[in-house]
Structure 1
Amino acid sequence: MSGLMNAAVIVAVAAVVIARQFSARRIGSDRRWWIVPAVLAVVALREPGVIDAHHQVESSVLLGTELLTALAIGAGWAWTTRIWTEPDGSVWSRSTKAGGAVWIVGIALRLGLFGIGAQLGVHQSSSALMLGLAATLLVRSGVLTWRAQSLEPTATGQVPAYGDGVRRVLRKERL
């Protein structure tokens, strides 16, 4: 795939993911949450320009830093996502404003890494960015699935929810 096509795929996936994160979405623990990140990673790794042949050390350090940044962004995004259970026991999620802030910080960090690479004269392909996006989505999906499993019904059929164990004051109704 050409660099322009990779960039188009990255922009399209990011736009869909960002747009969908702010709407309520059901989390299913039986879903294959790892498929989209795996496909993105395969597409990214099949390109030969992930590491610059003329600046292998610098390019490898930038790629490693990109992947660590992507992992942190994915974890931050997952932990700032609100999850809850519905009365039927299904688990839902929706990103918060803090999740949007994580995306903004992540984009700024990635632009900074791109700028550092440009200053060092390292050729940077879109494959590294696509690999970072795959890592972000993989971590986010994995953490959300893990968090959702803790909210699924227990053997007694009860679903734990935020606020369980907090003593509530019940008021009498007057007729």
Structure 2
Amino acid sequence: MSGLMNTALILAVAAVVIARQFGARRIGSDRRWWIVPAVLAVMALREPGVIDPHHQIEASLLLGTELVTALAIGAGWAWTTRMWAEPDGAVWSRSTKAAAAVWAAGICLRLGLFGIGTLVGVHQTSSALMLGLAVTLLVRSGLLTWRAQSLRPAVTGQSQGRSPAYGDGVGRALRKERL
């Protein structure tokens, strides 16, 4: 796939994922949360040029920094997502303004890394960015799934019919949106 197509795919996936997360979304109990990140990672790793052959050390350091940044963004996004459980045991999530700030900071960091790579003379492809997006989505999805398990009521009919939610005490109530 060409670099332009990879970039378009990255932007499309990021736009869809980000837009969907700012509406209330039910977190499913299926175990397939890792499929989209895995597909993105395979697509990124099958492309040549993830590491610039003329600047292997610098390119490897940039890729490692990109992956650590992606891991931090995924974790930050997951921990700034509001989650709650309904009386029927369904767990819902919705990204917050803090999650948007995490994304903005991540984009700035990635632009900075791209600038550093350009200054050093490293040829950069969109594969590293796609791999970073895969890591971000994998970490976020994994953490949300893990957090959702702690919110699901162990026994139906808990006291007052409601389990605690991350973000309780937030001033305004969030409306559940159904798709």
State the number of aligned residues. 163
The residue type paired with residue 36 of structure 2 is V
Distance 1:100 1:72 in 2: 14
1:86 CA drift (Å): 1.2
Task: Tell me the residue number matched to 1:22.
Answer: 22
**TM value normalised by structure 1:** 0.90
SS in 2 for 1:94: strand
Distance 1:104 1:19 in 2: 14
1:101 CA drift (Å): 0.2
Q: Contact between 2:88 and 2:156, CA under 8 Å: does it hold in 1?
A: no
Q: Contact between 2:151 and 2:165, CA under 8 Å: does it hold in 1?
A: no
Unmatched 5+ residue regions in structure 1? 164-175
Counterpart mapping for 1:111-130 below 5 A:
111-130=111-130
- Percent identical across equivalent pairs? 80
Task: Tell me the residue number matched to 2:86.
Answer: 86
| Structure 1 stretches of at least 4 aligned residues deviating more than 3 Å after TM superposition | none
Task: Tell me the residue number matched to 1:106.
Answer: 106
Task: Tell me the residue number matched to 1:172.
Answer: none
Distance 1:135 1:38 in 2: 9
C-alpha RMSD of the superposition = 1.3
Task: Tell me the residue number matched to 1:3.
Answer: 3
1:110 CA drift (Å): 0.1
**TM value normalised by structure 2:** 0.88
Distance 2:107 2:127 in 1: 16
Q: Contact between 2:83 and 2:165, CA under 8 Å: does it hold in 1?
A: no
1:128 CA drift (Å): 0.1
Structure 1 86/156 Cα, relative in aligned 2: closer, same or farther at 3 Å?
closer
> What whole-Å deviation, never above 9, does each CA across 1:33-56 have from its counterpart, x for those lacking one?
000000000000000110000000
Task: Tell me the residue number matched to 2:171.
Answer: none
Distance 2:156 2:26 in 1: 22
1:4 CA drift (Å): 0.6
